[in-house]
């Protein structure tokens, strides 16, 4: 009889232990819900799954600010039918960590897995060339609102208009231009331009300006579905920059080694062919910092690239820096400075220059930083690291706000 009782008792103990472990209101039980979060400007929207429970009375939501608070604070007690909650007591740029517990009277389940969110102004649009996709993400890159599949074409460039709630996507190889709304719906498709290469939006004229790599410049009026010739004598236009307050559209023509400038009426008003009396060798990027009346120019050759800058009051350009394989350049919104990238397999870096040419900040650990974009609302910096398949977001103190990985080959990022 004793031999029978011992195994029976062991079986009962093991069964009790297993039942206790499965009890969600036991400290050793499993978390019964999955919590998700996304930021939309100055708020955080949280949602959670249906708990696999019968006897519960609600949910308790907890939060702490990363780096500022040591302990979590209960910020909401919610009804059992609740599945969402919007936290509006947040500030831009602060990282918040959340978890949720299921409540049954005075008892609480184990916490869900914690989620971290950094709210901020605007949405990011990412062009993933090799994935045939356009993605719209949250400010901190932690949540993807939509994925627009562009197959069978590989997207090569994009511009957005917040006022028109429109994005224009270029497909250089197929000669197609698509217009989508901010919900990812295709509005129009254009095939009049043979090799659309670069696009920028003029918020004053409400027009998209598009270069054709075969040598033409166009405007696209998406409200009228109308494409117009602007200029037909370019050689190899590779980039375009619009300074709306100065009524200046600047096109870098790599074939003719010059920067060709127009007003928004399409009139040719200037050509930059010399830099301090010497012909341009290989212009690549030209941008204007309208806030500080300063232009920045990337020019180079097979051996080295030079970054020049000039105040509009000055006659000559100042050589700010020189690197191997300079890439994109973007002006900062805080102070008279610019960001640019140097990409090579040995040392790919993102640098910030002052107007005097001083390297102020240096970001490293990139493989091929292909594109930069400064958030127009707060001056934070987005970096596209193409070969590593990721996009990174930094605030103005060099802190990483967020990172999106597992992309295939991103080539462009911009902010709505």
Give the mean model confidence (pLDDT) for residues 352-375: 91
Is residue 344 over pLDDT 90?
Answer: no
Who wins on pLDDT, 49 or 396? 49
275 closest CA partner among 238, 306, 229, 239: 306
* pLDDT confidence tier of residue 24, bands split at 50, 70 and 90: low
For 19, the enclosing helix (H) or strand (E) is: helix 2-22
Q: What is the pLDDT of residue 15?
A: 44
Least confident of 13-22, 219-228, 246-255: 13-22
pLDDT at position 23 over 50: yes
pLDDT of amino acid 12: 42
Contact 117, 41 (CB under 8 A): no
At 180-203, the pLDDT tens digits run 999 999 999 999 999 999 999 999
Domain 35-117 and domain 124-415, same fold? Reply is no
Residues 6+ apart with CB under 8 A from 250: 240, 241, 242, 243, 259, 260, 261, 286, 288
- What percentage of the chain exceeds 70 in pLDDT? 93
pLDDT at 22: 55
Per mean pLDDT, which range of 193-197, 222-226, 262-266, 331-335 is the poorest? 331-335
Rounded Cα distance between 337 and 320, Å, is: 11
Confidence of residue 142 (pLDDT cuts 50, 70, 90): very high
Q: Which segment of 89-103, 211-225, 256-270, 351-365 scores lowest on mean pLDDT?
A: 351-365
- pLDDT above 90: percentage of residues in the chain: 79
CB 275 within 8 A of CB 299: yes
Residue 393 tokens read as 């977001």
Instruction: Name the token pair of 394.
Output: 């930094």
Domain spans of the chain, in order of start: 35-117, 124-415
Give the model's pLDDT for residue 13: 42
What pLDDT shows up at residue 357?
Answer: 87
Q: Span 293-310, mean pLDDT?
A: 93
φ, ψ of residue 154 to 5 degrees: the values are -90, 120
Q: What is the mean pLDDT of the chain?
A: 91
Mean pLDDT of the 132-143 span: 98
The model's confidence at residue 342, banded by pLDDT at 50, 70 and 90, is confident
Q: What pLDDT is recorded for position 345?
A: 59
- Provide the pLDDT for residue 378: 93
Pick the CATH number of 35-117 from 1.10.8.60, 2.60.40.10, 2.40.128.20, 3.90.1140.10: 2.60.40.10
If one counts every other C-beta atom within 10 angstroms of the C-beta of residue 345, the result is 9
Q: Dump strand ranges (E) for 89-156.
A: 96-104, 107-108, 115-117, 124-128, 133-137, 144-149
3-state helix, strand, coil in the chain (%, to 5): 5, 50, 45
> Residue written as tokens 């295709």?
186
Confidence label for 31 from pLDDT (cuts 50, 70 and 90): confident
Which phi-psi region, left, alpha or beta, contains residue 293 (left: φ > 0; alpha: ψ -120 to 50)? Answer: left
Q: What b/e readout covers 32-51, taking b as 16+ CB neighbours within 10 angstroms? A: bbebebbbeeeebbbebeeb
For 382-409, how does the pLDDT look when each residue is reduced to its tens digit (9 = 90+)?
Answer: 999 999 999 999 998 889 999 999 999 9
CATH class of this structure's domain 124-415 = mainly beta
Answer yes or no: is pLDDT of 225 > 60: yes
Query: Element (H or E) spanning 17, and its range?
Result: helix 2-22
pLDDT at 347 over 90: no
Confidence of residue 19 (pLDDT cuts 50, 70, 90): very low
At 28, the pLDDT band (50, 70, 90 cuts) reads: low
């Amino acid at each position: 009889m004793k031999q029978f009782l011992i195994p029976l008792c062991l079986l009962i103990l093991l069964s009790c232990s297993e039942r206790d472990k499965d009890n969600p209101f036991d400290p050793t039980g499993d978390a019964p819900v999955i919590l998700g979060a996304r930021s939309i400007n100055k708020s955080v929207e949280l949602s959670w799954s249906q708990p696999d429970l019968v006897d519960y009375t609600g949910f308790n939501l907890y939060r702490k600010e990363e780096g500022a608070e040591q302990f979590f604070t209960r910020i909401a007690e919610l009804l059992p039918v609740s599945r969402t909650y919007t936290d509006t007591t947040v500030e831009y740029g602060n990282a918040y960590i959340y978890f949720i517990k299921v409540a049954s009277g005075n008892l609480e389940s184990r916490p869900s897995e914690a989620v971290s969110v950094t709210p901020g102004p605007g949405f990011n649009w990412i062009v993933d060339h090799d994935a045939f996709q356009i993605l719209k993400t949250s400010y901190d890159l932690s949540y993807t609102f939509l994925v627009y599949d562009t197959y069978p074409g590989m997207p090569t460039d994009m511009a957005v208009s917040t006022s028109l709630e429109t994005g224009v996507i270029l497909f250089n190889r197929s000669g197609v231009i698509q217009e989508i709304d901010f919900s990812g719906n295709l509005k129009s498709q254009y095939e009049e331009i043979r090799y659309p290469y670069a696009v920028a939006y003029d918020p004053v004229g409400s027009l998209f300006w598009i270069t054709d790599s075969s040598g033409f410049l166009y405007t696209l009026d998406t409200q009228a579905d109308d494409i117009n010739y602007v200029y037909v004598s370019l050689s190899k236009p590779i980039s375009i920059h619009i300074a709306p307050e100065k009524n200046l559209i600047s096109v870098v023509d790599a074939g003719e080694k010059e920067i060709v400038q127009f007003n928004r009426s399409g009139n040719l008003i200037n050509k930059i062919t010399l830099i301090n009396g010497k012909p341009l060798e290989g212009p690549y990027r030209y941008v204007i910092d309208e806030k500080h009346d300063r232009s920045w120019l990337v020019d180079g050759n097979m051996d080295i690239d030079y970054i020049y800058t000039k105040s509009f009051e000055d006659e000559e350009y100042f050589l700010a820096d020189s690197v191997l394989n300079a890439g994109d350049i973007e002006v900062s919104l805080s102070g008279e400075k610019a960001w640019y990238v140097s990409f090579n397999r040995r040392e790919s870096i993102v640098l910030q220059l002052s107007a005097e040419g001083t390297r102020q900040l240096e970001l490293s650990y990139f493989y091929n930083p292909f594109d930069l974009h400064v958030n127009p609302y707060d001056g934070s910096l987005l970096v596209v690291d193409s070969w590593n398949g990721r996009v990174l977001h930094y605030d103005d103190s060099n802190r990483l706000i967020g990172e999106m990985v597992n992309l295939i080959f991103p080539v462009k990022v911009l902010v709505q």
